[in-house]
Amino acid sequence: MQVFRSLPALAELTARDRRGCVATIGAYDGIHLGHQEILRRVRERAAEREVPSLVFSFEPIPREYFAAALPPPRLTRFRERVELFQEAGIDWFFCPRFDARMQGIRAVEFIDRLLVRGVRPARVVIGDDFRFARNREGGLDELRAAGRSHGFEVEQVGSVFVDGDRVSSTAIRAALQGGDLARAERMLGRPYRMSGRVVPGRRLGRELGFPTANVSPGRRSSPLSGIFAVRVHGLGAAALPGVASIGTRPTVEGGDGQVVLETHLFDFSADIYGRHIAVEFVARLRNEEKFDSLPAMVEQMHRDCAMAREILAA
């Protein structure tokens, strides 16, 4: 899959390859079952026309940009979206930066400059809640009118429902924040994961007998917090069991309030600094707590590990 972070890079390619493409536009945070249905339709239509498939999104996601002081919890960071689009069989990912200029773009300019002269679609596939441009002024009607003028087709895909409820990124965030990992998994079509590179920490866990792999979640706001039974992917052929904490470490002095993902792997001692891992959340054990002392915290950590081992062995 080719990734384009600027309009000129994409426009140069699409100007040379005049077949066009089948494109979809959206935030695609989470890439849940509803998103996956749109991506399936994009792949199918692209295969029928023998043209590339393309996803057009933004980084940061517009909702993050507009709520800079208190951004909504991010389900998938940029790299995770790239990996999921690649797994879905998408050919091109166009993801320009969302900034003040992009915030103010009118629907007419969005269509003319970004879509028609940049993406050059033969067909555009969108979800049933799709809006675009300044103040969300653009929608299905504007897109279809542009298609008639510029020679591309527009297809709208309906919502997907799970357990009678519409699948959405908002519903998945709510499930994760409530600790309902099973509901989030049903809507995602896969267990929820966070991934990142293992970085050095304060080594307090090692001193306490619980060495941890520390990963920056890559999110200004996390969709979940607490203590979890987890499986860690990326360190071998099989996933490794463990227990993870995601939060601000209230018991540890000197914390900066930043969200940290710390994972203790059972019966594992290799040096994995710099490795890229994915932490799969299996079950929520409890809330993050502030303990009166480190010994009290260690005692609880032993109980957490025993509970996680039991859950993961079931």
Q: What is the pLDDT of residues 71-128, one digit of tens each?
A: 889 999 999 999 999 999 999 999 999 999 999 999 999 999 999 999 999 999 999 9
Long-range contacts of 304-309 (CB under 8 A, 24+ apart): 304/227, 304/243, 305/210, 305/243, 305/264, 305/266, 307/229, 308/228, 308/229, 308/230, 308/241, 308/242, 308/243, 308/266, 308/283, 309/241, 309/266
In 3-state terms the chain splits into helix, strand, coil percentages (rounded to 5) of 35, 25, 40
Prior bond of 60 cis (ω within 30°): yes
Contact 191, 176 (CB under 8 A): no
Question: Distance from CA of residue 303 to its chain's centroid?
Answer: 31
Identify the pLDDT of residue 253. 53
Confidence of residue 203 (pLDDT cuts 50, 70, 90): low
Identify the pLDDT of residue 30. 97
Mean pLDDT across 304-313: 96
More confident residue, 228 or 211: 228
Confidence of residue 61 (pLDDT cuts 50, 70, 90): very high
Confidence of residue 17 (pLDDT cuts 50, 70, 90): confident
200's tokens? 């050095």
Contact 222, 246 (CB under 8 A): yes
More confident residue, 200 or 231: 231
For the chain, what are the domain ranges?
2-162, 192-313
d(CA 184, CA 180): 7
Alpha helices in the chain (DSSP H): 7-16, 33-49, 62-66, 78-87, 100-103, 107-109, 140-150, 169-177, 181-188, 204-207, 294-313
126-142 b/e (C-beta count within 10 Å ≥ 16 → b)? bbeebebbeeeebeeeb
Residue type, 72: P
Pick among 3.40.50.970, 3.30.390.10, 3.40.50.620, 3.30.300.130: CATH of 2-162: 3.40.50.620
Identify the pLDDT of residue 60. 94
Confidence of residue 217 (pLDDT cuts 50, 70, 90): confident
Alpha helices in 192-246 (DSSP H): 204-207
| DSSP secondary structure letter of residue 72 | P
Distance in angstroms between the alpha carbons of the first and the last residue of the chain: 38
Most trustworthy range by pLDDT among 9-23, 160-174, 216-230? 160-174
Mean pLDDT across 164-173: 97
Contact 296, 276 (CB under 8 A): no
d(CA 139, CA 142): 6
Identify the pLDDT of residue 208. 64
d(CA 182, CA 91): 31
Q: What is the pLDDT of residues 269-280, one digit of tens each?
A: 888 999 999 999
Number of CB atoms found within 10 A of residue 2's CB: 13
CATH of domain 192-313: 2.40.30.30
More confident residue, 297 or 22: 22
CA atoms 237, 243, 248, 253: torsion sign:
negative
% of residues, the chain, pLDDT over 70:
95
% of residues, the chain, pLDDT over 90:
77
Residue with tokens 């933004």: 58
Q: Which of 92, 58, 51 shows the shortest CA–CA distance to 78?
A: 58
- Which of the residue ranges 158-167, 203-212, 263-272 would you say has the lowest mean pLDDT? 203-212
